[in-house]
Amino acid sequence: MKSYALIVNPMSGRGRALHKAEALREGLAPSSSVEILRTTHRGAASDLAAHCVGRVDRVVAVGGDGTLNEVVSGLMSAERGGGRLPELGFLSAGTANAAVKAFGLTSDPVVMARVLPTVESRSLDVGLVRHQGGERAFLLWFGAGWDAVVIHTLNATRSGFMGVSGIFGHVPALLRAVSAYGQPPITAVVDGQSFGEHSTVVVANVGVAGFGGTIAEGVDPGDGRFDVVGVPLVSAFGSMRLAFQMMTSSLTRSQRVRHGPGVEVTLHAERTVPFHLDGEAVGALPVTVRLLPGAVRLLAT
């Protein structure tokens, strides 16, 4: 018998996350010990996940990519204390749900309950970011520059469920933020070697971006390295062209974009440059990003 903790953001997906968690618990109940832990504020999922280490066999994040990020961060903070990490699962109920596409996961709680008793887990790398506010982990990607400006703006103005339609409602605020952003050059160093100056830097553990875009093709989240992508200083029109290319093919297909492997990345800028982790606004440069190889085991549902 496996023991599970379902860490659910009850606000995710206009309440769909809680309904999904309850359906998953019902499906697992005959053969497993299952408890539902609800978050009450930002950061709560990290605390809940940390307290699960050494207590349950499996932790399942139920919500959006942000909920998954908090759970991974909580597990990593507890791991440094020497605890045995539970296997990690994800049941999506958010907006972008990039993790579903990146890892080929189901979003159906009934299907997930059926396959979990026998499913295998796979080892995944995790990124750890050291910044002025402390340390925080990520599973999908780190981004500094243009994309982080958009995410920080949405984070500051959103209320409740976002969704694609909600993003269109924030276009005026986004246009103001993008227009005011002066593209401070980001100086990047990868594994001790200069990686140049860029307007945006993405440290990718997976190849997909939110809402169906592709950062780079062939990215393996278990290969023991990041894919580091540097976007050049561009005009507003140029940034739109790169965004279109990311949505239709791959960002790294542009000859102007620099792309290479690495396990440790340091970034700094002379002016304020925001960054995000897995689509969650976190802070500003400078940062050091390093790889934790095979740090978590993801349930391949």
**Confidence at residue 239, expressed as pLDDT on a 0 to 100 scale:** 73
Per-residue pLDDT reduced to its tens digit, 130-141: 999 899 999 999
Whether 249 contacts 97, CB under 8 Å: no
- Calculate the average pLDDT of the chain: 89
Give the residue, 154 or 184, on which the prediction is more confident.
184
**Confidence at residue 19, expressed as pLDDT on a 0 to 100 scale:** 95
**Confidence at residue 168, expressed as pLDDT on a 0 to 100 scale:** 53
**Confidence at residue 166, expressed as pLDDT on a 0 to 100 scale:** 52
Going by pLDDT thresholds of 50, 70 and 90, the confidence category of residue 161 is very low
Going by pLDDT thresholds of 50, 70 and 90, the confidence category of residue 169 is low
Region 193-217: mean pLDDT is 92
How far is the C-alpha of 300 from the C-alpha of 90, rounded, in Å? 9
Whether 203 contacts 191, CB under 8 Å: no
74-77: which pairs have CB atoms within 8 A and are 24 or more residues apart?
A: 74/45, 74/46, 74/47, 74/48, 74/49, 74/50, 75/49, 75/50, 75/137, 75/296, 76/126, 76/128, 76/137, 76/292, 76/295, 77/46, 77/50, 77/135, 77/137
Give the residue, 185 or 255, on which the prediction is more confident.
185
**Confidence at residue 156, expressed as pLDDT on a 0 to 100 scale:** 62
Going by pLDDT thresholds of 50, 70 and 90, the confidence category of residue 90 is very high
Beta bridge partners of 6: 36, 60
**Confidence at residue 162, expressed as pLDDT on a 0 to 100 scale:** 46
Give the residue, 248 or 175, on which the prediction is more confident.
248
Per-residue pLDDT reduced to its tens digit, 209-252: 876 789 999 999 999 999 999 999 887 677 778 878 888 889 99
Please name the residues in contact with 216: beta carbons below 8 A apart, sequence gap of 6 or more: 204, 207, 227, 229, 250, 251, 252, 259
Percent of the chain with pLDDT over 90: 69
Q: Which domains does the chain have, with CATH numbers?
A: 2-119 (3.40.50.10330), 130-294 (2.60.200.40)
pTM: 0.91
How far is the C-alpha of 23 from the C-alpha of 3, rounded, in Å? 16
User: H helices of the chain, where?
Assistant: 16-28, 44-52, 65-79, 98-103, 109-115, 146-157, 163-168, 171-180, 236-248
- Tell whether the model's pLDDT for residue 113 goes beyond 50: yes
- Tell whether the model's pLDDT for residue 157 goes beyond 60: no
